[in-house]
Structure 1
């Protein structure tokens, strides 16, 4: 089997195309699309190598699609020619047939197709894609349930989400990663500082309604600004494509930010520190005081929105690594635009949960609970440890993030280590 591409993949006028092969020369041609690190793709590769000994006139042309943008585009083009939607890899095209995924069922189907094409002439899928051969638009044979994201497909039940599509219950890695990373990112010391300060000033107004209104608007705009910020990262990574260097860059930035956050636990605000600078705090407090004097609901809403935008400009520096890591992980999956933004919305919905809880508790208790400096430093240690783990994985082996169990163990391990370090540090402090 030819690795990544074959001599029949050529570049013409800057575009990748497949040169139709001669049935007389090769017998029949199989086009096999796979992803690096996909276990089901590996299984099918082994199966194809075994079958090739039985059919010496069978020619297999394979394409890695997760890290090769041209091959991914070629898969989309060939799938469109067959009238199918590729929901995962591996995807195999043979004659007029296509098979998505790999299982016992698809193994039998592939064997039947190979047998059929060995007895009679089958068109090269490249000819079908170029339009020189025609097929009926029949549903593809699927060895698996089609998921909403292009990952190794596994047999499982699909859940339909309106306007988004099917989500395979066996492919929960990306949703799990989304919730976990967003949950970590949501404990943002900078965001907590601004919100606690704002609500603290509002206590003097002695109006729970005003406190809840301003707090809620602040939280909403914080999430909205974060969504726009992440959308910018997402589109930047999509334009750059699935280039390994971009993944390394995102991982490197995450590691640097993680190290600075971990440093802040031990040496708070000494040296380089990703916190709201003291020089910026007077301006933020001045905006907060102006809100207290506002009586018009419209002016309160506008003032709170402006404050949220100004505060978030500083807050982004605190945990910029998490959005960058997450959006890069997202673009390593070949999803539709609807799915990309679904995950961004899910991320930001999780992100604002702790801030919303703070607003509710502050409104009910009128500010009896405050965030201490020690708690802020602990948040930096935990977020730094987990960001370090994610950044390290992006640098060393990003494919492991497609495994929900490994991703969960990785993040839980980082949490345990950071809490253990915090506990030991407190114990070793002189009385």
Structure 2
């Protein structure tokens, strides 16, 4: 038997699980149409076919809260519908047994994502709005009841009903075309895809790039691939762990606060503020409020870097790289706090077990450190020297700020949209387009002067 914790593990919107349509032989009795022991249908004393609909939900799921009143209204308006509203909680463990039994009877793959609907031997997960998801589910169940009712009426009239087919479990068309990507099925893009998309763009962090490139350019003079790989690798690893701890803190705060709308609104407002400050740095570099690494912190940071290049033993190098990474990340986190904020809030709006939350954080941070590892690898391979130019740093700031602002606005006004990774992809594409246009106009207006080393 699965526990509640296992049942409520989820990887996002699973859509509708297809079953093979099969031809059913013409029934001869009512029991042939509606078996007495059926979990899905029944016939009352007036020979009206009833459809059993099982609604699985959790108290903390915001989409369940949206589906519940619609389903109760449909139940009250439909004589033929028998609603079984079953919360998946530790206090109602018998509902877990029911969920497992019905899942096994249908033979579907379901790990407990909610809201979940089972009716007419079909299975659906997720809820958008009564006018969309609700209308589709209601129409499917109504057609199912009408088909069975026609068979029962024909049998009672002594007629031979026409053979029918079982309802195929097919969802609405969820394919769409993306620029440069082509056609994708958005129903299969869920939390894993959202994680990879946001982490991938979060990885292009101007503060992290500035520090790592400066550090490696100093290490080039040591002409030691082992030293570069060791110090660079430790720096990247500690940066990833620090970022994980930072995101875990946000996650725990949002879990404690729960799915309150004002919390989501506040998270969106903070993300927009951070995004606007980063965008400001493109136009007013080193002027006004900024989330860049403070000028006063840089002398101590550079001193640590130079000390690393002269470390004579492996323990000294390891400790030096570790302390430098901790010091740098205490400032670096502010550069890109908006995306982790949006992501962790979106994560907590999905009702998942604790292990799944941290699994997603681990995936996010793995993707986050990949570009930094690539930089270390290229430097070790080429023993090259490269600094982040001011123009490049400003452009990265503009891009990340535009993305944070866009995602923050979505979190403010339409947080449900972030359930679909397509939203994040479209925001990223829009941010890249806006950034490209601004940079192009800026170069045409200001010209293209020689770059200086960025100060992030």
Residues 72 and 155 of structure 1, relative CA distance in 2, 3 Å threshold: farther
Q: Distance in 1 between matches of 2:51 and 2:137?
A: 23
Residues 330 and 354 of structure 1, relative CA distance in 2, 3 Å threshold: same
Residues 76 and 311 of structure 1, relative CA distance in 2, 3 Å threshold: farther
Residues 334 and 186 of structure 1, relative CA distance in 2, 3 Å threshold: same
Q: Distance in 2 between matches of 1:240 and 1:76?
A: 24
The one-character-per-residue Cα deviations of 1:402-422 (angstroms, maximum 9, x if unpaired) are 223333222211211111111
Q: Distance in 2 between matches of 1:265 and 1:329?
A: 28
Q: Distance in 1 between matches of 2:328 and 2:169?
A: 47
Aligned to 2:269: 252
Aligned to 2:425: 408
Q: How much has 1:354 moved relative to structure 2?
A: 1.2
Q: Distance in 1 between matches of 2:92 and 2:386?
A: 54
The one-character-per-residue Cα deviations of 1:253-281 (angstroms, maximum 9, x if unpaired) are 00000000000001011000111111101
Residues 103 and 28 of structure 1, relative CA distance in 2, 3 Å threshold: closer
Aligned to 1:88: 113
Structure 1: segments with no counterpart, 5+ residues? 1-26, 64-70, 116-142, 146-152, 157-167
Q: How much has 1:90 moved relative to structure 2?
A: 3.5
Structure 2 counterpart SS, 1:88: coil
The one-character-per-residue Cα deviations of 1:25-71 (angstroms, maximum 9, x if unpaired) are xx999774567669x959x958972x754527x675879xxxxxxx7
Aligned to 2:351: 334
Residues 78 and 263 of structure 1, relative CA distance in 2, 3 Å threshold: farther
Q: State TM-score, norm by structure 2.
A: 0.66
Matched, 1:419 2:444: no
Aligned to 1:179: 196
Q: Distance in 1 between matches of 2:172 and 2:257?
A: 29
Matched, 1:372 2:397: no
Contact residue 186 and residue 352 of structure 1 kept, 8 A: yes
Residues matched between the structures, number? 353
Aligned to 1:132: none
Residues 389 and 372 of structure 1, relative CA distance in 2, 3 Å threshold: same
Q: How much has 1:100 moved relative to structure 2?
A: 5.7
The one-character-per-residue Cα deviations of 1:307-358 (angstroms, maximum 9, x if unpaired) are 1111100100111111111111111111122221121111111111111111
Q: Distance in 1 between matches of 2:320 and 2:220?
A: 18
Aligned to 1:55: 79
Structure 2 counterpart SS, 1:279: helix
Aligned to 1:292: 309
Q: How much has 1:107 moved relative to structure 2?
A: 3.8
Q: Distance in 2 between matches of 1:60 and 1:29?
A: 6
Aligned to 1:398: 415
Contact residue 188 and residue 318 of structure 1 kept, 8 A: yes
Q: Distance in 1 between matches of 2:89 and 2:408?
A: 28
Q: Distance in 1 between matches of 2:440 and 2:196?
A: 26
The one-character-per-residue Cα deviations of 1:120-172 (angstroms, maximum 9, x if unpaired) are xxxxxxxxxxxxxxxxxxxxxxx979xxxxxxx9999xxxxxxxxxxx99432
Q: How much has 1:89 moved relative to structure 2?
A: 3.4
Q: Distance in 1 between matches of 2:383 and 2:204?
A: 21
Bigger relative contact order (CA 8 A; separation at least 6): 2
Residues 289 and 335 of structure 1, relative CA distance in 2, 3 Å threshold: same
Q: State TM-score, norm by structure 1.
A: 0.70
Residues 363 and 304 of structure 1, relative CA distance in 2, 3 Å threshold: same
Contact residue 76 and residue 86 of structure 1 kept, 8 A: no
Q: Distance in 2 between matches of 1:185 and 1:45?
A: 38
Aligned to 1:79: 95
Residues 110 and 242 of structure 1, relative CA distance in 2, 3 Å threshold: farther
